[in-house]
Chain A
Amino acid sequence: DSGVTQTPKHLITATGQRVTLRCSPRSGDLSVYWYQQSLDQGLQFLIHYYNGEERAKGNILERFSAQQFPDLHSELNLSSLELGDSALYFCASTLRSTTDTQYFGPGTRLTVL
Chain B
Amino acid sequence: GQQLNQSPQSMFIQEGEDVSMNCTSSSIFNTWLWYKQDPGEGPVLLIALYKAGELTSNGRLTAQFGITRKDSFLNISASIPSDVGIYFCAGHRTGGTSYGKLTFGQGTILTVHP
Interface residues of A (CB under 8 A from B): 2, 4, 31, 33, 35, 41-45, 48, 50, 55-56, 58-59, 90, 92, 94, 97-98, 100-107, 109
CB-CB contacts of B80-114 with A at 8 A, as 1s and 0s? 00000000101010100111111111110000000
Distance in Å from the Cβ of B71 to the closest Cβ of chain A?
17
Smallest Cβ-Cβ distance to B95: which chain A residue = A98
Give the number of residue pairs across the A-B interface with Cβ within 8 Å.
74
- Count chain B residues whose beta carbon lies closer than 8 angstroms to a beta carbon of A: 29
Sample (16) of A-B pairs whose CB atoms are under 8 Å apart: A35-B102, A42-B104, A42-B105, A42-B106, A43-B43, A43-B90, A43-B104, A56-B98, A58-B101, A98-B94, A98-B100, A102-B102, A104-B42, A107-B40, A107-B42, A109-B40
Interface residues of B (CB under 8 A from A): 1, 3, 30-31, 33, 35, 40-45, 48, 50, 88, 90, 92, 94, 97-107
Q: Which of A2, A41, A58 lies at the interface centre, i.e. has the most chain B CB atoms within 10 A of its CB?
A: A58
With contacts A44-B1, A100-B31, A100-B92 taken as known, whether A107 is within 8 angstroms of B41 at the C-beta atoms is: yes
